[in-house]
Structure 1
Amino acid sequence: MPQQTTRSMATQLSDVDYITTLQARVKELEAENANLLSRLAHCQCSEVGKKVYAPDDKTAEVTEPKISNGKSEETTKKKPGYKTRYLSHHSKRYVALKVMYFGKRFYGFSSEAQMEPSVESELFKALETTRLLVGDKKESQYSRCGRTDKGVSSVGQVIALFLRSKLKISGVNNGSSGEFVSEEQLEGELDYVRVINRELPSDIRILGWCPVPVDFHARFSCSGREYRYFFWKENLNILAMENAGTKLVGEHDFRNFCKMDAANVHTYMRRITMFEIYATDVRYEDNQLWVIKIRGRAFLWHQVRCMVAVLFSIGKGLESPDVIDMLLDTNRIPRKPQYVMASEAPLVLQSCEFEDLKFICSSDSGKALHAHLVNECKIFQLQTAIFHEAILNCFLAQIKACHQFKNPSHQFKDPRRKAPISLSCHDQLSVSSGT
């Protein structure tokens, strides 16, 4: 419509009518845009899978013709000033991912602390590289079950978000709430475990995935969490620690067993549903590895490490088991006493429990995952062997120095050298010839 006609119509209509007309037109355009996106998502042509680009300070790929054997072929070339967008027009489904990670080199799980590297940032890098994301965190409806601290590991962390799907929109859960999808809707889907694990660093792995309804939340849908803390027995009184630990079971005010977070926490009441201490099969010389297992629905900041620290004080005989009752009585001790938390390195988020959640891992992905974990164990075993050799060398050096101090005329013999020295070739020939 010409500009003069538009101006004349605007002058004839009142302001309210003019705004109403514009709003109606916007709705028409939005409906048309949604219709086009829906048609594009069902399109089976090869152009749908190509990348979409937007101006930015990063590089992108553009196609250029290339002549080969008299035929024109397309090649890709980096062009500055463009950035890849999320492919929101693809089919998507809401999934939960089970994540394991070794927390030694990470500044916690969450990337919100602006400390790198974090487990979460590495996960999203892999998802971006594999082009599985359909939007940013908010658009992907991202949620996580827990925020483990720096150095803490996990073999059962769970996150949930929308990921690109290989199936058509009509065949997957594309945004409607309701029950979990059936097994028939999993056939032909992307192998998320295999695809993501290929881009993750060696200390992070996806253990499985599961389709979930969009009203699922990794944190608030969780019915329970289990932590395990590994420690060497040494001279600890395990019976005293076990008797004290049973006092933690039940619903209590744990403000004296956590780090205060007044800005985000309004109640310190938490319920511990299970507490156990048991020995493992791992031994080193005369020492044995033990485990503290604690289960509850939710935990406060540093709660597990604080509880373990108090239990260690009891095991060392520095405190009596009755100190647990005192710390749980907030009328008697309204403020947390000053004590050092237990180390973060032996702490593991073992599992996050959900109702009707069964994680999927294909046979090929399971074999690759098992091979990777076995290889990682071998690497750490090699490191253990090197440390053990260093300890042995230090021990032998001390014995040698002591021996030479007492008997300077005697030569020290390495006790590790038990096998006799082989004869030289000349000596062997002499022996065989009888000379």
Structure 2
Amino acid sequence: MAAAKADPETAAALRAEVATLRMRVQELEAENQRLARIASSCTCGFKEGSVGSVTTQHNEEFHQSSTLEKDLSFPFDHTVVSTANEVQCNINAEGNGLPDDSSKRTKRTGRHVGILSHCPKRLVALKVMYFGQRFYGFSSEGNTEPTVESEIFKALERAKLMVGNRKESCYSRCGRTDKGVSATGQVISLYLRSNIKDVGGDMLDERPEIDYVKVLNRILPRDIRVLGWCPVPEDFHARFTCLSREYKYLFWKGDLDILEMQKAASNFIGEHDFRNFCKMDAANVSNYRRRITEFTISACDRRSNNDELCSMTIKGTAFLWHQVRCMVAVLFLIGQGLESPSVVDSLLDIMKTPRKPQYKMAPELPLILRSCLFDKANFMCSSDASQSLTEHLNDEYHHHMLQAEIFHIASSCLPFPEPNSSETLQKKRNHMPLLSRQTEPSYEERISKVKTKLADNLK
């Protein structure tokens, strides 16, 4: 009787177990179909076999990761299974560690495929040259495009050199040049992917390091080039560890009195309060004292239409916003005979002149960030990359010289104008001395306004 009673209970338990197993089989089949769809739509460029089970699919993904490691010459973390499908690191035919030009976002994770957070990395400084005519400045913090910085990061991601987002890469820049300003020695630093496994240890990887200059210059637009790279210590910061910066400002001599300009320029040398020679940013800057170590004016080896090209060389430890262009603007007024060289001393004396007179800055186009000096930063450039840079600059130089010659030919077709001395006299009569002009608010007035606005926002 007991055995007969147990049979229905056992049968019910078995039926429940069978139902559970059937549900599990359905789940596994659905998972297998999902993985098969992923494999069929994979664009990573590797040959894949048929997927018959979950285990087979995982083996395929592991095999793809191993193939990527071999082709890219840097170690992959095999525990990151999805990385093989996300990275799409096909090396192009020219080699040099430059991946395929895909920089798309993956649909599943939304991550940039050009950012490889699991790769070996090292802190690197890059020396950058750019012609600023078409850029809205160097920094990409605003909403205006294009900027030099945005183009550099596009190239870094496309080359698969990023090892995290901008914040994670400890990115820093030496200077923030304005719209239209060029540079031949801008410096940035950030963590980049490396071929060397143990950068900080004694035993370094025998494989050669990535040729950062060559890789990036093949991707960057023609008006941006990387001139060199160097490894830097962990405490390196492109802005705060910079010892000095050098600017050059080009101009045509014309009728300017260079001797008077040089006399006035020498008054800038030393440490002064330059609040009357900058665009004041009271919300972020409270100290306007800066040190100028050199300010010279010299002739360049260039002449055109009986005019001589000259340059101002300005060196200092740091500069304020628009400081160079403001100093140059005042020197131009002195060179034209509209102001006395003593006006520089008056504007540097904030007790005598606490408010900046209103005057127009010098144009941005002739301004160049010439170089940035660091302690023990020796920038390297391979022979191949150096040769490519030389050829590129020569091509650009010849191209622009041809354009200049076209303008020269066009100007020769026009009648030569007679000199108009009355125009110069009229300009001097209409000139209002700087110290007699309407002034901008002082720093104290600006900061008071900022504090009032902050207090109102907190209410």
TM-score by length of 1: 0.71
CA shift in 2, pair 1:395/1:320, >3 Å: same
Does 2:209 correspond to 1:189? yes
> Does the 8 Å contact 2:195/2:207 carry over to 1?
no
Provide the residue aligned with 2:151 in structure 1: 122
CA shift in 2, pair 1:239/1:53, >3 Å: farther
CA shift in 2, pair 1:107/1:53, >3 Å: farther
- List per-residue Cα deviations over 1:6-33 (Å, max 9, x = no partner): xxxxxxxxxxxxxxxxxxxxxxxxxxxx
The residue correspondences of 1:304-383 to structure 2 (distance < 5 A) are 304-383=324-403
* In structure 2, C-alpha distance between the alignment counterparts of 1:54 and 1:241, rounded to whole Å: 65
Deviation at 1:395, TM superposition (A): 3.8
Does 2:169 correspond to 1:140? yes
Provide the residue aligned with 1:216 in structure 2: 236
- List per-residue Cα deviations over 1:62-100 (Å, max 9, x = no partner): 89xxxxxxxxxxxx9x99735544211111111000000
Deviation at 1:393, TM superposition (A): 2.7
Does 2:260 correspond to 1:253? no
Provide the residue aligned with 2:107 in structure 1: 81
Provide the residue aligned with 1:73 in structure 2: none
* In structure 1, C-alpha distance between the alignment counterparts of 2:88 and 2:373, rounded to whole Å: 46
Number of aligned residues: 330
* In structure 2, C-alpha distance between the alignment counterparts of 1:154 and 1:319, rounded to whole Å: 30
Does 2:302 correspond to 1:302? no
Instruction: State the one-letter code of the partner of 1:81.
Output: K
CA shift in 2, pair 1:62/1:315, >3 Å: closer
Deviation at 1:54, TM superposition (A): 7.8
* In structure 1, C-alpha distance between the alignment counterparts of 2:402 and 2:260, rounded to whole Å: 36
Q: Percent identity over the alignment? A: 57
Provide the residue aligned with 2:124 in structure 1: 95
CA shift in 2, pair 1:61/1:158, >3 Å: closer
Deviation at 1:387, TM superposition (A): 1.1
Provide the residue aligned with 1:149 in structure 2: 178
Q: What secondary structure does 2:255 align onto?
A: coil
* In structure 2, C-alpha distance between the alignment counterparts of 1:144 and 1:387, rounded to whole Å: 37
Instruction: State the one-letter code of the partner of 1:139.
Output: E
* In structure 1, C-alpha distance between the alignment counterparts of 2:200 and 2:187, rounded to whole Å: 19
> Does the 8 Å contact 2:195/2:205 carry over to 1?
no
CA shift in 2, pair 1:370/1:53, >3 Å: farther
Q: What secondary structure does 2:236 align onto?
A: coil
Backbone CA RMSD of aligned residues: 2.8
* In structure 1, C-alpha distance between the alignment counterparts of 2:367 and 2:294, rounded to whole Å: 17
TM-score by length of 2: 0.68
* In structure 2, C-alpha distance between the alignment counterparts of 1:349 and 1:215, rounded to whole Å: 24
Provide the residue aligned with 1:28 in structure 2: none
- List per-residue Cα deviations over 1:341-378 (Å, max 9, x = no partner): 00000000000000111000000100000000000001
Q: Compare the two structures and name the one with the higher strand fraction.
A: 1
Unaligned segments of structure 1, at least 5 residues? 1-42, 64-75, 175-180, 399-435
2:160 to 131, 134, 159: 131
* In structure 1, C-alpha distance between the alignment counterparts of 2:254 and 2:205, rounded to whole Å: 53
1:285 to 297, 305, 325: 305
Q: What secondary structure does 1:100 align onto?
A: strand
Provide the residue aligned with 2:263 in structure 1: 243
Q: What secondary structure does 2:414 align onto?
A: helix
Instruction: State the one-letter code of the partner of 1:361.
Output: C
Q: What secondary structure does 1:45 align onto?
A: helix
> Does the 8 Å contact 1:94/1:173 carry over to 2?
no
Task: Spell out structure 1 runs of 4+ moving beyond 6 A.
Answer: 50-55, 59-63, 184-187
Instruction: State the one-letter code of the partner of 1:46.
Output: T
* In structure 2, C-alpha distance between the alignment counterparts of 1:309 and 1:79, rounded to whole Å: 47
> Does the 8 Å contact 1:102/1:204 carry over to 2?
yes
* In structure 2, C-alpha distance between the alignment counterparts of 1:255 and 1:379, rounded to whole Å: 41
2:66 to 16, 27, 45: 45
Instruction: State the one-letter code of the partner of 1:269.
Output: R
CA shift in 2, pair 1:210/1:324, >3 Å: same
2:137 to 108, 111, 114: 108
> Does the 8 Å contact 1:106/1:117 carry over to 2?
yes
* In structure 2, C-alpha distance between the alignment counterparts of 1:199 and 1:335, rounded to whole Å: 47
The residue correspondences of 1:13-24 to structure 2 (distance < 5 A) are none
CA shift in 2, pair 1:255/1:89, >3 Å: same
* In structure 2, C-alpha distance between the alignment counterparts of 1:121 and 1:62, rounded to whole Å: 23
Deviation at 1:392, TM superposition (A): 2.2
> Does the 8 Å contact 1:225/1:295 carry over to 2?
yes
